[in-house]
Amino acid sequence: MDHTTDLLQRIETMRKELSELVLEKGSFLHPTVIDMSQQLDEYIVKYQKCLQLHT
């Protein structure tokens, strides 16, 4: 698999984990939720940069 596909899979996994974490913590404002959301944002930015390089 290429790097772009790996990133996309990681993003999808993290989205699911983030949704579960929000339900578990009961708030989007919980520090753990915010941390994971920021990590997910970083992966999304990396993915977008990869897409730009391949177009």
pLDDT of residue 1: 56
The arrangement of secondary structure in 3-53, i.e. its CATH architecture, is Irregular (4.10)
pLDDT of residue 55: 72
State pLDDT tens for residues 2-55: 888 999 999 999 999 999 999 999 999 999 999 999 999 999 999 999 989 877
pLDDT of residue 7: 94
Which residue type, as a one-letter code, is found at position 24? E
Distances (CA, A) of 45 to 8, 40, 41: 11, 9, 6
Alpha-carbon span 40 to 46, nearest angstrom: 10
pTM > 0.75: yes or no: yes
pLDDT of residue 3: 84
Alpha-carbon span 55 to 39, nearest angstrom: 25
Domain extent listing, the chain? 3-53
**Chain centre to alpha carbon of residue 34:** 12
